[in-house]
Amino acid sequence: MRQKLFGLTLSCVLFLSPLSVGAQSGRIRPGEQWRDNHGHLIQAHGGGITFWKGMYYWFGEDRSRDNDPSKRSVACYSSRDLMHWRFCGKALALPDPEHLGSGWVLERPKVFVNTRTRKFVLYAHLDDAHYSFARVMVAVSDHIQGPYRYVKSYRPLGEESRDIGQFIDEDGSAYLIFESRPTHGFFIARLTGDFMNVEKTCFIPAPLEGGAMVRVRGTYYVVGSHMTGWEPNPNVYATAPALTGPWTEFHNLAPAAARNYGSQSTMLLKVVGTKATTVIFMADQWRPNALWDSRYFWMPLRIGDGGMHLPPPRPWSIDVTTGEATLSAADR
């Protein structure tokens, strides 16, 4: 609960305080603890960002230690600058919706805005402890921050679906990216009008998860990680002139030995400003034995000459008005 102080909410006061910690001080620090306006560790693992009415909303797996163990939660945070995040509450706190049994999972939630139905639609990977259910789940809300109401689970295109990703094209079309193990690849699938189903756009025959995508200057870039569970591996990218392909071979985003600086992709966020366009590589540094303290790895990508490069971690900042990212030289 937020407390009132002279008519202002306490969260608002902390939001402005110079005593705030981590990225609340105006820098994004890949791999360090990142705290919200209350000083709590941000719980938005395997997450995604939805831009709506001038505000960024960050949704992700809420792995808080004090969560009700029978439920799975999605937390929501809001920000105008991508550096300071205000906790908006749990968008979803879901009891087992499909008799999945103990150890069931809800992972990689992403929220889509359907301007036609005026609904916010949350997709996530829903599974049992053995990852054999392999479906997506859908929940809806009239408000972006929730609460979201569970609607259903399904297998997109009738296929097994595990890690999911989200892509919104420049014309506003919304796509679900999902990994499908038996096919040894992943699908890019356009959401139908009500966002309750998908239709096939493209299948990429590469067994990759943590799928993410962005379009820059007419080229589509898809990113993914190899299948090593929580263990980091060299993440890769491919490009195409159209969503339907043809796609190039996959190349490493960073030197292979760096194993993607210990991180796994979750989203590519494009910030288009008055002076520049920055694409942020959003990833997770998982801590399987302390998931609540898993870290976020966000860095601006270098894109040019048809390639994409993930630089080593450094504190940095972004100006969402100009779109410019500034890497700090020595800040640690």
Site string for ligand GAL, 34-63 (x = CB under 6 A): ------------x-----------------
Q: Write out the DSSP string of 46-77.
A: EEEEEEETTEEEEEEEE--TTS-TTEEEEEEE
Paired sense of beta strands 4-5 and 8-9, if any = antiparallel
Cβ 47 to ligand GAL shortest distance, Å: 11
Residue 206 vs residues 106, 136, 186, 211, 250: alpha-carbon distances, Å: 24, 20, 7, 11, 9
User: What is the Rg, in whole angstroms, of the alpha carbon atoms belonging to the chain?
Assistant: 19
Structure tokens at 201: 């756009």
Residue 229, amino acid: G
Residue 156, SS3 per DSSP:
helix
Of 73, 79, 96, 77, the C-alpha closest to 88 is: 77
**Per rule CB under 6 A, is residue 160 in the interface with ligand GAL?**
no
Cβ 48 to ligand GAL shortest distance, Å: 12
Among 26, 39, 95, 229, binds ligand GAL (CB under 6 A): 229
**Per rule CB under 6 A, is residue 107 in the interface with ligand GAL?**
yes
Residue 20, SS3 per DSSP:
coil
Cβ 307 to ligand GAL shortest distance, Å: 24
Cβ 292 to ligand GAL shortest distance, Å: 15
Cβ 64 to ligand GAL shortest distance, Å: 17
Between 232 and 300, CB nearer to ligand GAL:
232
For residue 30, give the DSSP letter: T
Between 146 and 210, CB nearer to ligand GAL:
210
**Per rule CB under 6 A, is residue 295 in the interface with ligand GAL?**
no
- The residue number whose beta carbon is nearest to ligand GAL equals 229
Among 32, 62, 160, 163, binds ligand GAL (CB under 6 A): 163
Structure tokens at 137: 């789940």
Cβ 185 to ligand GAL shortest distance, Å: 15
Site string for ligand GAL, 118-157 (x = CB under 6 A): ----------------------------------------
Residue 256, SS3 per DSSP:
helix
Cβ 121 to ligand GAL shortest distance, Å: 20
Q: What per-residue string of b and e applies to 169-191 under the rule 16 or more CB within 10 Å gives b?
A: eeeeebbbbbbbbeeebbbbbbb
Cβ 157 to ligand GAL shortest distance, Å: 20
Q: Is the Cβ–Cβ distance between 93 and 68 less than 8 Å?
A: yes
In sequence order, what are the beta bridge partners of 136?
125, 154
Among 95, 101, 230, 302, binds ligand GAL (CB under 6 A): 230
Site string for ligand GAL, 191-210 (x = CB under 6 A): ------------------xx
Residue 226, amino acid: H
Site string for ligand GAL, 235-274 (x = CB under 6 A): -----------------------------x----------
Task: Provide the binding-site residues for ligand GAL, judged by CB under 6 A.
Answer: 46, 107-108, 163, 209-210, 229-230, 264
